[in-house]
Structure 1
Amino acid sequence: MNHRRARRAKSEINVVPYIDVMLVLLVIFMVAAPMMQPSVINLPSVGKSNIEVAAKPLTVEISAEGALGLIDAQGSAAEPQADVATLVAAIKAKMGSETERPVIISADKNVKYEVVVQTMDGLKNANIARVGLMVQPK
């Protein structure tokens, strides 16, 4: 007589492969974590500067509507500029051989950020070395 054992279904889960996968992921994250640098934003301070500027800066005014103007000296009226390209050409003409003359951007606090960035980008692309932002101290 042939007695066979009846096959029963196994109701256990083999967790060894899951543990292997988790250990591999743990090793990957342990190796990759020190390589990730958190981004740091250095914000400009509004305190007084001890540095005296010998050359009188050129001032780019940006109104709340986004209109551009160029001021050569303190107290003079702003010369209206059509766009960033004409502004850069006017700045280059006023700077002449003074390549280290600073350019300060004075923008209304309600102007779109994009207009200020486009102006700064145009000045940097024209190889104007010293570009700054005018702020009002508290």
Structure 2
Amino acid sequence: MKGMGMMPQHRRKPMSEINVVPYIDVMLVLLIIFMVTAPMLTQGVKVELPETTSEPIQADKDVESIVVSVDTNGAYYMEIGDEGGDPMSLPEIREQITKILSQRTNSEVLVRGDEHVEYGVVVRLMAELQAAGASSVGLITEAPSTDK
């Protein structure tokens, strides 16, 4: 007679179910994050750019600027100081900019693009310049004429 006068002992079985409540919480948080960030990921937005005048950049005397120009035909030219050059390809521009910026880290890179050149040509040039090590690339513009 086992344990007379004592309450019989009941053994609890181990629980074999997974508690999914924390997983549901995580899923809901991720759902909210994706719902908030999804509208920000749109690639193309139609915009009408305003026409404004801008103040000229104050050039430092000790910083030599490198100007890369794109003409209406999509040909690239590189000017360092007062020296102009012959037409170059994008890989040649990238190679030259990489060499120059490895020697002179304080040089600024500016892009002068013809107004009739395709937007994609200028964007490809700017991407190559950044890949060559140019931390910031400026755009050269002219002030709008007042003879209207």
Which of the residues 83, 89, 97 maps onto 1:91? Answer: 97
Q: Which whole-Å deviations, capped at 9, do the CAs of 1:48-100 have from their partners, x for residues lacking one?
A: 246333312101010100001111113x322321x211101112223342123
Equivalent runs, 1:26-45 vs 2, <5 Å: none
* Contact 1:100 1:130 survives alignment (8 Å): no
Which of the residues 62, 78, 87 maps onto 1:80? Answer: 87
Taking only aligned residues, the RMSD between alpha carbons, in angstroms, comes to 3.1
Counterpart of 1:61?
A: 69
Q: List runs of 5+ in structure 1 lacking aligned partners.
A: 1-34
TM-score, structure 1 length as denominator?
0.61
Q: List runs of 5+ in structure 2 lacking aligned partners.
A: 1-35
Quote the sequence identity (%).
22
| Aligned-partner SS, 1:89 | helix
User: Cα offset for 1:117?
Assistant: 0.2
d(CA) in 2 for partners of 1:135, 1:78: 20
d(CA) in 1 for partners of 2:72, 2:138: 19
1:116 aligns with 2:108: no
User: Cα offset for 1:109?
Assistant: 0.6
| Aligned-partner SS, 1:135 | coil
* Contact 1:61 1:78 survives alignment (8 Å): no
d(CA) in 2 for partners of 1:65, 1:78: 16
* Contact 1:56 1:102 survives alignment (8 Å): yes
